[in-house]
Amino acid sequence: MKSFVAILLLAANVAHSAPRQLTIAIPETAGRLSLAAFDASANRVRTLAAAADISEFRAGLDGILIEWDGLDDHGQPVPQGTYHLRGLFIPETVSAEGEAYLFNDWESQDGTPLIRKILTLAPKPDGRFLIVAEEARSGLPRMWQADAEGRLNALRPGPLPSDAKILALNERAALLSVEGRVELLPLSDEQGHPLAKSAARLGALSRTRAALCVAPRQIALYDLANPSAPAKEHAVPSDLRLLAPCGDGFVAILENDQAVLVRDSGVSEISVGDTQSVRSLSMGPDGSFWLTGLTGNRSVARNFDPEKGLLREMRLDPEAGPAEIFGEMDGAGFFLLTANATHSTLRSVRPSASGTSESPWEITLEKTIQECASFGFAKGVPSANAPAHDELTVLLDPSPLAPLQGSLPIRAKTQDDRVCLETAEGLKIIEVAHLPGISRVAIAHGKTSGSVRVLVGQPGFVAEFLATGLHHLTPLDEGTVEISP
DSSP E strands in 141-192: the ranges are 141-146, 152-154, 165-169, 173-178, 181-186
Yes or no: say if 144 and 154 are a contact pair by the CB < 8 Å rule.
yes
CB 276 within 8 A of CB 254: no
DSSP bridge pairs for 484:
15
| CB 461 within 8 Å of CB 103 | yes
Task: Answer whether 12-91+476-484 and 119-370 agree in fold.
Answer: no
Angle at 90 between CA 86 and CA 92, to 5 degrees: 165
CATH of domain 119-370: 2.130.10.10
What is the C-alpha separation between 180 and 304, in angstroms, rounded? Answer: 34
> How confident is the model at residue 403, as a pLDDT?
62
pLDDT of residue 18: 60
Cβ atoms within 10 Å, residue 111: 10
Q: In the prediction, which pLDDT does 330 show?
A: 83
CB-CB contact of 474 with 35 (8 Å): no
Q: pLDDT tens digits, the chain, 485 residues: what are they?
A: 333 333 444 445 555 556 677 877 777 788 999 999 999 999 999 999 999 999 998 887 777 889 899 999 999 999 999 999 999 999 999 999 999 999 999 987 667 788 999 999 999 988 899 999 998 878 889 999 999 899 998 888 788 888 888 999 988 889 998 888 899 988 876 677 788 778 888 999 999 999 999 889 999 999 988 888 899 999 999 999 999 999 999 999 999 999 999 999 999 999 999 999 999 999 999 999 999 999 999 999 999 999 999 999 999 998 898 999 999 888 889 999 999 989 999 999 998 877 666 778 999 999 999 999 899 999 999 999 999 899 999 999 987 656 666 899 999 999 999 999 999 999 999 999 998 888 899 999 999 999 999 999 877 889 999 999 999 999 987 688 888 87
Query: If you count DSSP H runs as helices and E runs as strands, how many of each does the chain have, helices first?
Result: 0, 42
According to the model, what pLDDT value does residue 8 have? 43
What does the alpha-carbon distance between residue 131 and residue 160 come to, in Å, rounded to a whole number?
Answer: 12
Q: Is 398 exposed, middle or buried (0-12, 13-18, 19+ CB in 10 A)?
A: exposed
276 and 295 Cβ atoms separated by less than 8 Å: yes
Q: Which of 119, 183, 123, 172 is nearest to 148 (CA)?
A: 123
pLDDT on residue 227: 83
Domain positions in the chain:
12-91+476-484, 95-100+374-468, 119-370
- Residues whose CB is less than 8 angstroms from the CB of residue 104 and which lie 6 or more positions away in sequence, other chains included: 113, 116, 136, 369, 370, 460, 461, 462
Q: Are strands 452-458 and 474-484 parallel, antiparallel or unpaired?
A: unpaired
CA distance 24 to 14: 15
pLDDT value for 107: 80
Largest CA distance in the chain: 97
CATH of region 12-91+476-484, choose from 3.40.50.300, 3.10.580.10, 2.60.40.4070, 3.40.50.970: 2.60.40.4070
The predicted pLDDT at position 431 comes to: 97
Q: pTM surpassing 0.85?
A: no
